[in-house]
Structure 1
Amino acid sequence: MPPSSKEGTSKALPLIGIMLIAGGLLLLGWLGWALLSPAGGKEAPYQYKKVAEGGVEEFPELGLDAYGGITVRKYKLLAEEIQKEPLVELYTGSKDNQAPVLLEWKNNLIEPLLAISSSIEDLTKLARGITEHVPSEAMVLSWWDTSRRLELLTGVNTLFNGNLAEPLLIPTPWVDQRKAIENLERDFWQVTNSGEAETRQKRVAEALLADEAKGVSILRELSDGREAYVVVHWSDAYKLGAMEPKRFGLGYKDFPGGRRVHALIPHVKDWIAENGYESYLVHRSDEDTIRTYFLTGDTDKNALIVKLLPFSTSNPMELEVLKLVAQYGSYWVYSLPPANDAG
C-alpha cells in the first residue's frame, strides 16, 4: 500500500455528480486514475468474472446460514488491461433463477466505484431485526438496493421487486464509456425497463430531500398509508448526492488512525471548522481510516436524510412523526405510524 494512501491530505477528485475530498487514491497499488480510460468507448473498461457459486453453506464468510434456498455467486470486477488484481470483489444472491441481488460490494479502491453496499454483517443484523420486529403486513421503505436485499432475505413488503442499477458512480476517466458501462450493468443485474420502479425511487429521493413534514407525506403516499418502517444507511446520502448534486452537496475527507476514533474527533471538528463546513457525520471506512462526510454549498440541514442519519447538526429524538426504533450497525430504522394514527 503506498504511503500516500493514508496521509489524510485533501484532494479534489472529479467523480461524476458528487464532490469528493479525500486523502489518497487507492488501496491497490496501481498506475492511477488516468489509466482507467482505455482507447475507444464502445466497450466497458472492465468485466465481471464469476469465481464461485453455490448455496449459502458454501460461503461461511457471509454468515447466511439462516437463509436457505439462496444461490450465492462470487465475482471479481476486473480491468485486466491495467490491473491484474480485482478492483472489486462482490457477492450476489438469488432465488428461483430471478435477477441477482447484491449482497456485498467489497471495493478495493478508496474511491467509490459503480456501487456501494454495507458490510454483510450489518445487513444480516438488519435482516434479523426486520424478521423479529416488523409485522408481516407493514411496509419497509428504503433505497431500492436495501429493499432488494431485505426482500431476498426476509420476504418483507418493499417498493421494489427488481434492480435499477442506479446511480452508477462512474469516475471521470470512464465518461466516454458511460453508455457501454450502463449496458453492461443492465445486462449483469438483469435490469428490466420499469418506469414505475424508477418513479418510486425518485419519490423516495424526493422524500429524503424534503423536510420531515413533506417527506413523511411522500412516504405515507408510497406505503398507501399503512404502518411502515424507514431504513436508511449513510451510503444513501452519498447516492442522493450523486443523483441530485445541485440540491444535495456532499463531500468527504479521510483521516488516518481509525482505531482511535474518539481521539480523532477533535481533529475532525477543527478541520471542519477551518474549512467552513458545519454538518458532518463520521464512519470507519477501514481498520485504519475514518471517513468524514460533510454537507457543502447551500445544502439544507433540515433535509430528512440529514435528520435521519447521525449528522452533527441532527438529533433523531427531535423528529415529530418518525420515531427511531433501532440501529443495526450502519443502518438506522424508524417507525412511521399509519396515516389514521397521525396526531
Structure 2
Amino acid sequence: MTPRIRLIAGVALIVFGFALLGWAIYAGLNPTAPFETRLAPISAEAAKDVEGFGLTPERLQQIEVSAKDERGPIATGVVARDDAGRLTPLVWRNQVTEPIFFADVSASDAAKVLAAIREHTPQDAVVLAWWDFSRAIRLVAGRAAPLDDAEARGLLLPGAWSAAGAAERARWGAGVPTSSANGFTRFMDALLDSDETRASEALKKLADGKPAYVAVRISDAWMLAAARPQQLSIAYKDFAATGVSHGLIKSAQQWMRDQKIEGGFAVEPMGGATRLHYFQRKSDGDRLIARLLPFSTSLPSPLTRFSLVYQHKGWWIYRLND
C-alpha cells in the first residue's frame, strides 16, 4: 500500500469515526420511541359504545398505542377533542398489566360518573380534578373544571419509555395555555399536603369563591406520584381473586408485614385479580390524596372539611365544606 493510499484510508477511517460519534450523540438526544400512537376516525361500532357521552361523532376519535415487540395494540381507547383541540380520554383499555398513559376506564362507568356530577353539583359549581378528567367534566358534564396542564404531568409511562415521553406529553398537552401550569401545580400541592385545613383552603382559592367540589380516582395517586416522585411513592401487587374479601385483605396485610411495608393500602378489582395499591412510605398515608381515596390510613381520621357526595368504583366526589 502506497503512502498516499494509506493517508486516504486513514482520513476515511477518521471521518467514519466522527460520523459514528455524531450519530450516537444524535440518537441519544433523539431516542427512537419504543411505541407508536395512532389516531383514527371513530367507527360506527365504537361510536355506538360511547353514545352515553352525548358527543357528536365529529368530536370523537379512536386511539391505539402499539409497541414494536408486541403483535397487537397494548392500549386502545376513544378520545374527544374540545374546541381548542385538546384530547380528552373518555374510554381506555390497557392490554398489558402496567397502565399505558391512563388507567382503564369503561364507557359505562365514565358516563355514569359524569352524569352523577351533573346531578350532584349545582350549575355554578367548580369541580377540581386531574387534567384528563377535568376535560371530560367540561365536555360531558357541563360543569366548570378549570384545571388543565400543558405539560400533561402525571402521564403514566413505563420506566423504559421515559426518554421518549416528551412527544407524548406534548400531544396530550397540545391546545392548553401555558398559564394553566400555576393552577395545576397548586392543585398537586394541595393533594400532597398533610394538613387538611390548609389543603382545603388552597383548593377553595382555585374555585374562586364558587361552590367547590373535588373529583378523584385511585389512578390519580399514581399520576401524582409520576408527577412528583420525590414526594409520593406508590406501588402495586396483584392477588388472584375475583373480588375484594376480608380474607384477601388479611392476605394483603400479611404480605405487607412480611415485606416490612408500613404505608397505607387500597384494593381494587382488576378483572380476574385484585390489585393492592400501597404507599411505600408510612408518611404518604397522611397526605390529602390518600385520605380522599379509600386507603387504609384514611379510616382512623375521617375528613372534616370534605363531604362525600358520590362514589362509584374508583371515583370519589367530594364537596368542600364552608
**What residue in structure 2 maps to residue 282 of structure 1?**
267
Q: Provide closer, same or farther for how the CA distance between residues 226 and 95 of structure 1 changes in structure 2, counting only shifts above 3 A.
A: closer
Shift of the 97–221 alpha-carbon distance from structure 1 to 2, 3 Å rule, reads: closer
The alignment's TM-score, normalised by the length of structure 2, stands at 0.82
Q: CA deviation at 1:282?
A: 0.3
Contact 1:229 1:334 in 2 (8 A): yes
| Structure 1: segments with no counterpart, 5+ residues | 1-38
Residue 260 (structure 1) shift: 6.0
Tell me, yes or no, if structure 1 residue 48 matches structure 2 residue 48.
no
- Aligned residue runs from structure 1 range 209-288, under 5 A: 209-210=192-193, 211-259=195-243, 261-278=245-262, 279-285=264-270, 287-288=271-272
Cα distance change of structure 1 residues 126 and 163 upon mapping to structure 2, 3 Å threshold: farther
TM-score (normalised: structure 1)? 0.77
Specify the alignment match of 1:196 in structure 2: 179
Greater gyration radius: 2
- Cα 1:184/1:111, change in 2 over 3 Å: closer
Q: 1:289 to 1:322 in 2, by over 3 A?
A: same
1:126 aligns with 2:109: no
Q: How many equivalent residue pairs?
A: 292
Of 85-94 and 256-265, more deviation after overlay is shown by 256-265
- Higher RCO (CA < 8 A, seq sep 6+): 1
Which structure features the higher share of helix residues?
A: 2
Question: Is the alpha carbon distance of 1:315 and 1:225 closer, same or farther for their aligned partners in structure 2, counting shifts above 3 Å?
Answer: farther
CA shift, 1:253, in A, is 0.8
Q: Decide whether aligned partners of structure 1 residues 65 and 319 sit closer, same or farther in structure 2, where only a CA change above 3 A counts.
A: closer
Q: Which whole-Å CA distance do the structure 1 matches of 2:80 and 2:169 have between them?
A: 16
- How does 1:1-343 map onto structure 2 within 5 Å? 41-53=30-42, 59-62=47-50, 64-65=51-52, 67-69=54-56, 71-79=59-67, 81-96=68-83, 98-160=85-147, 164-175=151-162, 177-178=163-164, 181-187=165-171, 189=172, 191-192=174-175, 194-210=177-193, 211-259=195-243, 261-278=245-262, 279-285=264-270, 287-315=271-299, 318-337=302-321, 342=322
SS of the counterpart of 1:319? coil
Closer, same or farther: CA 130–163 of 1 in aligned 2, 3 Å: farther
Q: 1:282 is paired with a residue of what secondary structure?
A: strand
CA contact (8 A) 2:134 2:147 kept: yes
Compute the RMSD of aligned alpha carbons: 2.5
Q: Check the 8 A contact 2:154/2:225 in 1, yes or no.
A: no
Q: Distance in 2 between matches of 1:172 and 1:159?
A: 30
User: Kindly tell me: are residues 190 and 269 of structure 1, through their superposed partners in 2, closer, same or farther at Cα, counting changes over 3 Å?
Assistant: closer
How many angstroms does 1:196 deviate by?
A: 2.1
Q: Distance between the aligned counterparts of 1:47 and 1:104, measured in 2?
A: 18
Q: Distance in 1 between matches of 2:37 and 2:53?
A: 28
SS of corresponding position for 1:195: coil
Do the aligned residues in 2 keep the contact of 1:91 with 1:102 (CA within 8 Å)?
yes
Aligned identity (percent) is 29
For the structure 1 residues 58 and 253, does the alpha-carbon distance in structure 2 shift closer, same or farther, using more than 3 Å as the test?
closer
Partner Cα distance (2:319, 2:168) in 1: 37
CA deviation profile, 1:234-253 (whole Å, cap 9, x unmatched): 01111111122222121211
CA contact (8 A) 1:148 1:163 kept: no
**Is the Cα–Cα contact under 8 Å of residues 307 and 319 in structure 2 kept in the other structure?**
yes
